[in-house]
């Protein structure tokens, strides 16, 4: 099962908050599906870290890096969607709590205004008041859990952001090393060309020196020849 499965269920359930199907059962379903989605997110995040480690150890296999980046993008998109659904649930719960609190305030006012003689009505109002209190307590607990779940997803996203940042630094380091190596190669090529140029000039000098010596020897030989006559 992927994170996407409970996420889709969560989005459907969240849309029911504050509606006719809202109630204790719905809150239990939301809590269960949210916990499942968060657990799968943590497991997927751990798997992603392992994949990053494998791809780093096998940099020559480009397909691993492509797969890693694709999965990373998909996971971040799903986590954003999950957190959006959780925030939506939190907002809807707050609005529903306000509505329930307003209803309870009205009921409490009716209880205060009712007389001791209206026993049946008073009991009904008190039961309704207690129901409101229970609902507010349950929704408050749901809110607290949602905030914790949102925090968990935020932490997972921070971990992924750190991985992306670290990978970026590694890539930058590799690029810097490649650039540095390229500069060395370029400098080496320049040095080779310079050495070749100087070597050619040295050969030219040696050639001219040899020619000069040949002419000098020839002149000396001619001089000696004429003096010998």
- Give the domain extent around 221: 196-228
57 and 96, same domain (yes or no): yes
200 and 181, same domain (yes or no): no
Q: How far apart are alpha carbons 49 and 43 in whole angstroms?
A: 10
pLDDT at position 168 is 54
- Our count of domains for the chain comes to 2
Q: How far apart are alpha carbons 146 and 10 in whole angstroms?
A: 12
- Beta-strand ranges (E) seen in the chain are none
138 and 220, same domain (yes or no): no
pLDDT at position 167 is 61
pLDDT at position 12 is 93
pLDDT in tens, 113-171: 777 667 788 788 888 888 988 888 988 898 888 888 888 888 888 888 777 666 654 44
Residue that the structure tokens 């010596």 belong to: 213
pTM reported for the whole predicted model: 0.63
22 and 77, same domain (yes or no): yes
Is-contact 138 27, C-beta < 8 A? Answer: yes
Q: How far apart are alpha carbons 162 and 85 in whole angstroms?
A: 24
181 and 200, same domain (yes or no): no
132 and 39, same domain (yes or no): yes
Q: How far apart are alpha carbons 47 and 67 in whole angstroms?
A: 13
Q: Could you tell me if residue 190 is inside a domain?
A: no
58 and 123, same domain (yes or no): yes
Q: How far apart are alpha carbons 186 and 208 in whole angstroms?
A: 33
pLDDT at position 88 is 92
20 and 59, same domain (yes or no): yes
Mean pLDDT in each 10-residue stretch from start to end of the chain (229 residues)?
A: 79 91 90 89 83 73 73 84 90 90 87 75 85 89 88 85 63 45 48 58 67 69 62
pLDDT at position 153 is 87
Half-sphere exposure of 216 (CA within 13 A, CB side): 6
181 and 76, same domain (yes or no): yes
């Amino acid at each position: 099962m992927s994170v996407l499965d409970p996420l889709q269920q969560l989005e459907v359930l969240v849309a029911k908050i504050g509606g006719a199907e809202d109630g204790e059962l719905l809150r239990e379903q939301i809590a269960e599906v949210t916990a499942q989605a968060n657990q799968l997110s943590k497991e997927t995040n751990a798997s992603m870290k392992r994949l990053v480690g494998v791809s780093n150890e096998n940099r020559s296999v480009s397909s691993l890096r492509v797969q890693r980046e694709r999965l990373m993008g998909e996971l971040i998109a799903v986590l954003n969607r999950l957190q959006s659904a959780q925030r939506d649930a939190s907002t809807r719960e707050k609005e529903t709590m306000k509505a329930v609190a307003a209803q309870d305030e009205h009921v409490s006012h009716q209880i205060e205004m009712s007389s001791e003689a209206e026993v049946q009505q008073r009991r009904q109002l008190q039961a309704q008041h207690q129901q409101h209190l229970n609902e507010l307590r349950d929704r408050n607990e749901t809110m607290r859990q949602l905030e914790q779940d949102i925090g968990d997803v935020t932490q997972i996203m921070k971990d992924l952001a750190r991985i992306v940042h670290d990978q970026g630094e590694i890539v930058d380091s590799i690029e810097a090393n490649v650039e540095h190596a390229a500069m060395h190669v370029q400098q080496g090529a320049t040095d080779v060309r310079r050495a070749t140029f100087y070597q050619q000039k040295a050969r030219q000098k040696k050639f001219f020196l040899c020619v000069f010596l040949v002419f000098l020897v020839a002149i000396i030989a001619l001089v000696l020849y004429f003096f010998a006559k």
